[in-house]
Amino acid sequence: MRIEIVFALPERQLLESVEVPDGAVLADVIRASSLAKTFPGLDHATLATGIWGKIVARDTEVQDGDRVELYRPLEIDPREARRQKAGPKGRDSGPGRDESH
């Protein structure tokens, strides 16, 4: 079976197709990939894993054509990132407010 595996860091990504036998599980795909060589020192055992965007365990059997994904921890909560991007909001700030008075 041909399985695609993907993992990304901000500065580098892995997108690779690997061949695994029928009955292979997600962990077999990770072992068959070049993940360990491409990202030396990465403790991939701690990363969440998924297939096609759905988080699954490493003992999940894969199907031909699946896309195995490894998810790194978020550096910042997406809600907090939106708050920071929006900036401070308040009654006395914003467009049209003249603070010179």
Show the domains of the chain with their CATH numbers: 2-83 (3.10.20.30)
Q: What sign for the dihedral angle of Cα 83, 87, 90, 95?
A: negative
The pLDDT of residue 10? 82
pTM for this model (two decimals): 0.71
Residue type, 75: E
How would you classify the pairing of strands 67-71 and 2-9? parallel
Per-residue model confidence as pLDDT tens for the chain (101 residues): 999 999 988 888 999 999 999 999 999 999 999 998 998 888 888 899 999 999 999 999 999 999 999 998 766 666 766 777 787 765 455 555 555 55
The pLDDT of residue 78? 63
* CA distance readout (Å), 21 to 56, 57, 61: 19, 19, 11
DSSP secondary structure, 1-22, as one string: -EEEEEEEETTEEEEEEEE--T
